[in-house]
Chains A and B, each alone.
Chain A
């Protein structure tokens, strides 16, 4: 005892340090927090921070607008003092509206977003070295729970790492211990966004073979159970470089670009589709489409097959031939007949078209040029039907094709 009382100060020092070491070891070993102490501290500090922030935002808006008003007043000296007083009041109300405007934008986004969210205000930053953790003024009393995502209309901000009765801690996307699943907008490449402790983030686990463009946007993939799918995360900063073992892709987080004041906590997330990337930009010239072909008459032929079918039908009518009839070996219709001349000849003769048939060599070729082509010499005698199954087969095939066409 004498020894202890003699070295009382050192003993107290060692005991206090030892107690804290045990506390530290317990937390690291069990991966559990000593929640009671934190609740006391947060409950003691955050209400004061909330009050200070409310006073600051109100005062800053009023002072800023009042200085602006003073400039106006110098140009309007002749205005009555009563009018000036009214303007001061007006500017005060306008400053209130500015604050309300920000909140209104957030509210509009909140209504547009299918996820159920809770608006919150950032009231402080944590004390850890190099940590990117902030306090928001909504806690477990408002339904906030650990693990919930935090967003702004511009993108994701971070996630709740601790929820206290009056406030919550938000681990920002730039913190080194942050991670979330992401997917690229254009090439649908999946990865994990991790913080670096700096203003930029890194997308990990992207194979070198996969393509990611500079400026390509990344969205949440919904795989992590924190953020619903389809929330913007950021855009690729710089050109992605091949790395070992994964591609080096860095993101500029879009949610942090507009500063941190008001945020939304995702109470109940709803997955959304990832928007398609913007198509051709205005700088790319696109050739106009070719002019339309003359429109076919309603019910008329529109495709080459239709036109062929029409031609075969007319040939059948001109030659008085019914497709699918006739015995094997009977004369097939002349498919090379010139229909225009045949129609003229039929009209001039006023007779049946079957009798007014011109010689085959003068009528062959349905197309220009083919009519003048010399006709192959005709055989003097027709071979027996049984001796030319090939020609019969061809005729039959043509007839069948025509019948099968719509």
Chain B
């Protein structure tokens, strides 16, 4: 394996250790992310493209490195997001539950402290989230929403770029061992 591959894949105990956060972070950070999405697009429509609750879900799931935790984090944030939307409860919940589970699975395997890996994972999960939400809306609710793959890709790129800086900031909330 190359040096980069060694760096990306988890190779020692330190990197595989589950990240611990202050308890209030699990409440305040998702709440702030949802507030961000509820409030800022009122004045800057550009911020409507940012999926802050999703980025927070990905971050906590990746660093907790526990699939059950990731599942519940995703479900919780998704349901709160559903509660603030004008659609049945469960749409965001199901999608984010899956994102949380898969992010935790990836976090167990890869070194998610690496910026390139974080960027790629964010891009992947944002695209997955958008696509799966579109599938659920069409299949379960019968909503006829347009599917624009190019737009989803660019939204993924944007969120991935923001995710790098957001993850750096959230790293400061981790408890030191």
Main secondary structure of the interface of B (DSSP, over half): helix
A44–B31 touching, CB < 8 Å = yes
Give Cα A401 to B174, complex, Å.
111
Number of cross-chain contacts by CB at 8 Å = 123
Q: Does B145 contact A (CB under 8 A)?
A: yes
Partner of B93, one of A20, A38, A162: A20
Partner of A125, one of B38, B94, B98, B145: B38
Q: Does A303 contact B (CB under 8 A)?
A: no
Within 8 A of A (CB), among B82-102: 82-94, 97-98, 101
* Known A13-B97, A16-B97, A37-B83: A24·B89 in contact at CB below 8 Å: yes
A20–B94 touching, CB < 8 Å = yes
Q: In the complex, which range does the number of interface residues on chain B fall in?
A: 35 or more
Chain A residues closer than 8 Å to B53, beta-carbon distance? 127
A129–B133 touching, CB < 8 Å = yes
Give Cα A171 to B86, complex, Å.
8
* Known A24-B94, A41-B83, A41-B84: A123·B39 in contact at CB below 8 Å: yes
* Known A128-B86, A131-B86: A48·B31 in contact at CB below 8 Å: yes
Q: Does A356 contact B (CB under 8 A)?
A: no
Partner of A8, one of B38, B68, B72, B90: B68
B71–A125 touching, CB < 8 Å = no
Residue of B nearest to A26 (CB): B88
* Known A24-B90, A129-B145: A16·B83 in contact at CB below 8 Å: no
A52–B39 touching, CB < 8 Å = yes
* Known A45-B35, A45-B38: A127·B81 in contact at CB below 8 Å: yes
A124–B42 touching, CB < 8 Å = yes
Name the distance in Å between B43's Cβ and chain A's nearest Cβ: 8
Interface string of B147-159 (1 = CB under 8 A from A): 0000000000000
B84–A127 touching, CB < 8 Å = yes
Chain A residues closer than 8 Å to B98, beta-carbon distance? 13, 17
Q: Which residues of B contact A (CB under 8 A)?
A: 31, 34-35, 37-39, 41-42, 48, 53, 67-68, 71-72, 75, 79-94, 97-98, 101, 133, 137, 140-141, 145
* Known A34-B89, A40-B83, A42-B84: A20·B97 in contact at CB below 8 Å: yes
B86–A133 touching, CB < 8 Å = yes
Residue of A nearest to B87 (CB): A128
Chain B residues closer than 8 Å to A33, beta-carbon distance? 88-89
Within 8 A of B (CB), among A14-64: 16-17, 20-21, 23-24, 27-28, 33-34, 37-38, 40-42, 44-45, 48-49, 52-53
* Known A48-B35, A52-B35, A126-B86: A28·B140 in contact at CB below 8 Å: yes
Interface string of A106-134 (1 = CB under 8 A from B): 00000000000000001111111111011
Residue of B nearest to A44 (CB): B31
Top 4 A-B residue pairs of the complex, sorted by shortest distance between their CB atoms: A41-B83, A128-B85, A24-B90, A9-B67
Name the distance in Å between B88's Cβ and chain A's nearest Cβ: 4
